[in-house]
Chains A and B, each alone.
Chain A
Amino acid sequence: MIWGSIIAWYLFLAGLAAGAFATAALVSFKDRGRKAFVKVQLVGRIVALLALAIGLFLLIFDAEAGFKNPLRFFYLLTNFASVMTWGVVILGVFGCVSLVTLLLSLLKKHVPYWLDGLGIAAAACTAAYTGVLIGVIKTYPLWNTALLPVLFLVSALSAGMAATFILSALIAPRELEGLGILKKLHFALLPTELLLLVALLYVASSTAPAAQASVERLVSGDLALTFWLGLVVAGLIVPLFSGGIGIGAGGNPGGRGSDTDGADGARASGRGGAGGGGRGRTSSGIRTMEAAGDVGVLVGGFLLRYLIIVAAVPLTFVF
């Protein structure tokens, strides 16, 4: 195996960073300058920059010769036929926007919407490029599908939201209760991801024998336990249940107009953010369960990349 868990961690962290940034930006769009959700935004922006920094360090660390001769990294901008070169440009833009918006947030300044918009675009490119990077490699037919970047994109947003929500639940639970709509989006990503995963495995296994062998390793071979228990159960099924229960149990008050109510509620804490219909705040049991689901999403996000990297069987070119 040429690439291993370090690269899987990098792909995961870059996606997580992109997803956390997008979460913060979406919260800011929803907030419309009322400052009802400043902490959630700040959490998202911090997670984004931190995850990106750690991920980039791992990437550099894995590039042994560059790690020993850092000046060689300047050559990275020479071959624009390479997806990796484009990745460097995308990461550069995303990193800069991420840093500037975090500084603005820390200084309690309003982050301009155009800047968050640009950041979302860069974040989407970052998440998708991690899929394109390995997706263009014909040697591994498991990677070589157009579905992979889409799957990584969805999973990245899912993981970024999960990380932001877990930390926000600890730091600013009230704010979180006003974000019912984002919770719904977060939830909706799970069945989407499941569907994409099934489609990817199906499409791949019908192309080359090498991809078929990869899928077999995942579904019934040496990686089956990690695949079924780690990725499918912990990463998708558990979050689907806990998220579903969380949404059903009043993460959101009686439907219409809930978002603005929630936002106001978060500010006027006396009214109990999500508590329309007299149901009160989300109970701590449900909150714990939601957090467990989010941990599952993170585990699944990493395992998705790890399994796809290690399960890939190269084209059997001879004989």
Chain B
Amino acid sequence: MTRYAMLIHTTRCVGCFACRVACQTQNSLPASDSFIRYEEQESGSYPVVYAEQVPLQCQHCEDAPCVSVCPTGASYINNEGIVLVNQERCIGCKYCMTACPYNARIQDHRTGEVEKCRFCVWHDDGSVPEPACVDTCVTGARIFGDLDDPTSEVSQAIVSHNAKPIAAGLTRAKIYYVR
């Protein structure tokens, strides 16, 4: 089995937003829409303060609430653990958007359909695809790979950095963060 996942090293992220631009280009999104957004987190107290950019996108939850609420079956999980939207079935009811606790879905107002990060899945022609955000990251803050393969770079990085999902107790997310 293959279970694709990602690791994001927020302490390496410099907040250049190159991943968002790469994603928008990859997915032909207008400048106003994107599958990646950022939350800024400040910590510490004056004068020792830190600002951290946390990139957020679909977490490809294993127990995806967006999939269970979707009335048309448009939202689904493929056999590699990637959560996808079958655009031909989506009616744009936005039920999935309310169900996603990470606010990771957007509605494309050109079509009315709902979309989100797809781990650049359509590149998959037998070879392991490298999502555009991973490819483009200038500091190498993103690692993509197979969770079920203990020797994969992502599996090993999760263990060595003790990476964790962004929030405990929401869903079984498959994007791991090093913070």
A residues near B (Cβ < 8 Å) are: 2-3, 62-69, 72-73, 75-76, 78-79, 81-85, 88, 134, 136-140, 314-315, 317-319
Contact = CB atoms under 8 A, between A and B. Distances in A.
Given A68-B111, A75-B91, A2 B97 contact: yes
A317 B91 contact: no
A10 to B, nearest CB: 11
Contacts of B41: 318-319
A39 B68 CA distance: 45
B56 interface: yes
A12 B113 CA distance: 25
Nearest to A84: B71
Contact of A136 (B69, B88, B109): B69
25 contacts: A2-B97, A2-B98, A3-B94, A63-B91, A63-B94, A63-B112, A64-B113, A65-B92, A68-B112, A72-B72, A72-B91, A75-B72, A75-B91, A76-B71, A78-B71, A79-B68, A79-B71, A82-B69, A136-B69, A139-B99, A314-B101, A314-B103, A315-B101, A317-B102, A319-B41
Interface string B85-117: 000111111110111111100010101111000
B14 to A, nearest CB: 19
Interface in B61-95: 65, 68-74, 88-95
A228 B24 CA distance: 44
B150 to A, nearest CB: 28
A2 to B, nearest CB: 5
Contacts of B99: 137-139
B92 A66 contact: yes
Contacts of B95: 82, 84
Interface of B: 39, 41, 54, 56, 65, 68-74, 88-95, 97-103, 107, 109, 111-114, 166-167, 170
Given A65-B111, A88-B71, A317-B166, A140 B98 contact: yes
Contacts of A67: 92, 112
B69 A84 contact: yes
Contacts of A136: 69
B10 to A, nearest CB: 11
Contacts of B113: 64-65
A79 B167 CA distance: 28
A85 B91 CA distance: 13
Contacts of A88: 71
A84 B93 contact: yes
Contacts of B90: 65, 72
A63 B170 contact: no
A83 B70 CA distance: 9
B22 to A, nearest CB: 23
Contacts of B39: 318-319
Contacts of B68: 79, 81-82
B70 A139 contact: no
A3 B112 contact: no
Given A317-B166, A318-B167, A83 B54 contact: no
A76 B91 contact: yes
Nearest to A139: B101
A65 B112 contact: yes
Given A2-B98, A66-B91, A139-B100, A315 B170 contact: yes
Interface centre among A75, A81, A83 (most CB of B within 10 A): A75
A318 B71 contact: no
Given A66-B91, A78-B73, 12 more contacts: A2-B98, A63-B92, A64-B109, A65-B113, A66-B93, A76-B72, A82-B68, A82-B70, A84-B93, A138-B101, A318-B39, A318-B41
Contacts of B73: 75, 78-79
Nearest to A4: B94
Nearest to B68: A81
A287 to B, nearest CB: 42
B63 to A, nearest CB: 11
A75 B93 contact: no
B178 to A, nearest CB: 15
